[in-house]
Amino acid sequence: MKLTYLSKDGEEGFPGNLKTAVTYSLTDKNEFQIEYESETDKPTIVNLTNHAYWNLAGGGSCLDNVLTIPSTSFTPADAESITTGEISPVKGTPLDFNEPTKIGERIDQLKPRMSGYDHNYILGEDQVMKLAARLEDPRSGRIMEVRTTQPAVQLYTANHLKHTAVCLETQHYPDAIHHPNFPSIVLKPGATLKETTVFSFLAK
């Protein structure tokens, strides 16, 4: 299924006529694939993602789902969830999911104390398909792997919904327009933004 949208010049304060297409596909390999494509006639800001909620247990809390995120660093945010521009290591913090870990195992250790995870993890700027995350429900044996060409993934644990699901949103760095040390999210005329994210489903 292919969906298209034209954001006209000046809509919501953004310059340029931005043409965007998002194609959703199901493959014979038990994959759900999302392909993004955008073009513009003026330099403008583009950062596309998908806000799907997942709970491999099929209900209840997502905190017993086991998560792996192969990332060594993240982009901290302030008390209002605005990215500060820093890049910090995850090692030695409750944000380290390089080894399979239950989502809820260290959630109470987040400082300043938060209602849950809402953090952007850095995956690498090279635009190749790479593993962003692996999610597993130990009881059912259901597994979901997320691969993407995007440079980051946002972990969000449905903090206002009692942790009933988890989001793994592949994206560019949040608020990158205000931080020149972040990869640019400016799309220029004549260029085409293309990104792909694939959710693969397995079972033990």
User: Is 90 exceeded by the pLDDT of residue 27?
Assistant: yes
pLDDT of residue 157: 96
**Domain boundaries, given as residue ranges, for the chain:** 2-203
Sequence-distant (≥ 6) Cβ neighbours of residue 121 within 8 angstroms: 69, 71, 73, 74, 90, 95, 132, 152, 153, 154, 155
Coil, helix or strand for 41?
A: coil
pLDDT of residue 127: 82
User: Is 70 exceeded by the pLDDT of residue 113?
Assistant: no
CATH 3.40.50.800 for domain 2-203, yes or no, is no
Question: pLDDT tens for residues 55-104?
Answer: 999 999 999 999 999 999 999 999 888 999 999 999 999 999 999 999 99
* Listed residue (131, 96, 127, 126) closest to 110, CA to CA: 96
Q: What is the separation of C-alpha 189 from the centre of its chain, rounded to a whole number of angstroms?
A: 26
User: Is 70 exceeded by the pLDDT of residue 50?
Assistant: yes
Looking at the DSSP bridge assignments, the partners of residue 195 are 36
Q: Give the residue numbers marked as catalytic.
A: 51, 169
Residue with the two structure tokens 């380290």: 96
Instruction: Find the mean pLDDT for residues 173-184.
Output: 96
Question: pLDDT tens for residues 143-175?
Answer: 999 999 999 999 999 999 999 999 999 999 999
Question: pLDDT tens for residues 2-11?
Answer: 999 999 999 9
pLDDT of residue 112: 66
